[in-house]
Amino acid sequence: MGTDSTGRDIFARIIYGGQISLLVGFLAVIVAALVGVLIGAFSGYYGGVVDSVLMRFTEAMLAIPTLLILIVLSKALLGRIPNLTFLDRSISGSVPIVILVIGVTSWMYGARIVRAQFLSIREQEYVTAAHALGVKNDRIIWRHILPNTMGPIIVFAALGLVNAITLEAYVSFLGLGVQEPTASWGNIINQALSFIQRGVWWLWFFPSLMIILTLLCVNFLGDGLRDALDPRNLVES
């Protein structure tokens, strides 16, 4: 894969940059999934005033442009947050900002998906039987209904991971995301901009290829996990 303008190995930088890109993606998805599942579960199960309040809040959050917020905060806080040390590696202080913004502004679709599933499943006979036996609401939510919504949640998480990796690469490509000395696929491509017209194609080609392959793999993995963890498939098998 060659070296960059300062002699650094491209393959090694793609490996280390991929760790950061995947770290940002996974942590942002965890934040989004936790918030989305909690809001969607309570909204769909309890209904009424709780559902109205939570869904209006969700709709208000949908009006917030994630990319714009991410760019504005990254620009405002750029260089003001000290570098962090994680597993003996120096990570730029912009990484937690990117994770937090993507996670906090990406849970709304998951919440609506979970709410729709809860509205449907709470009318099933086994949920009615659990109520008749005096099972507490929290146990019904987490032990009876939530496991039957894992398929859509996994699909949402897979799509959220794709979205998080893409957003991180986009803002880092613009120079507003992950900063040096931390490498990510986005800022590696950003550093290759000045060499594109010089025929130095490998500086941008390989990190771009890794982004494309990773997004494809995550989509395929999400589809496979959805089918594997679907309770209806488990019953049929």
Residue 43 located in a structural domain: yes
Residue found under tokens 């880092």: 172
- Asked whether residue 162 is domain-assigned, the answer is yes
- What does the pLDDT average to over 38-49? 89
The tens digit of pLDDT for each residue in 66-84 reads 778 877 877 777 767 777 7
Cβ-count burial of 58 within 10 angstroms (0-12 exposed, 13-18 middle, 19+ buried)?
buried
Residue with tokens 């979970």: 114
In this structure, is residue 226 part of a structural domain?
A: yes
Indicate which CATH number applies to the domain containing 208: 1.10.3720.10
| The pLDDT value given to residue 37 | 92
Determine the pLDDT at residue 233.
58
HSE-up of residue 58 (Cα within 13 Å, Cβ side): 26
Q: Is the predicted pLDDT of residue 213 greater than 80, yes or no?
A: yes
Tell me if 104 sits within 8 A of 33, measured CB to CB.
no
- State the angle between helix axes of 10-46 and 94-104 in degrees (0 to 180), rounded to the nearest 10: 30
The DSSP annotation for the chain comes to --B-TTS-BHHHHHHHHHHHHHHHHHHHHHHHHHHHHHHHHHHHHH-HHHHHHHHHHHHHHHTS-HHHHHHHHHHHHTTTSPPEEETTEEE-THHHHHHHHHHHTS-HHHHHHHHHHHHHHTTSHHHHHHHHTT--HHHIIIIIIGGGGHHHHHHHHHHHHHHHHHHHHHHHHTTSSS-TTS--HHHHHHHTGGGGGGT-THHHHHHHHHHHHHHHHHHHHHHHHHHHH-HHHHHH-
Q: What is the mean pLDDT of the chain?
A: 83
Confidence at residue 128, expressed as pLDDT on a 0 to 100 scale: 85
Please check whether residue 3 lies inside any domain of the structure.
no
For 150-186, what is each residue's pLDDT tens digit?
A: 888 888 888 888 888 888 888 888 877 777 777 888 8
49 in a structural domain: yes
The parent domain of residue 155 ranges over 10-236
What are the pLDDT digits (tens) for 110-146? 899 999 888 888 888 888 888 888 888 888 888 888 8
Task: Quickly count: other Cβ atoms within 10 Å of residue 155's Cβ.
Answer: 17
The pair of three-digit structure tokens given for residue 234, joined into one six-digit string: 């488990």
pLDDT-derived band at 230, boundaries 50, 70, 90: low
Per-residue buried b or exposed e for 30-47, using 16+ beta carbons within 10 Å of the residue's own CB: ebbbebbbebbbbbbbee
Smallest CA-to-CA distance from 6 within 192, 184, 186 is with 192
Give 54-63 pLDDT, tens digit per residue: 999 998 888 8
**pLDDT single digits (tens) 8-31:** 888 888 888 888 888 888 999 999
User: With 90 as the cut, is the pLDDT of residue 87 above it?
Assistant: no
Domain count across the chain? 1
Domain assignment of residue 35, yes or no: yes
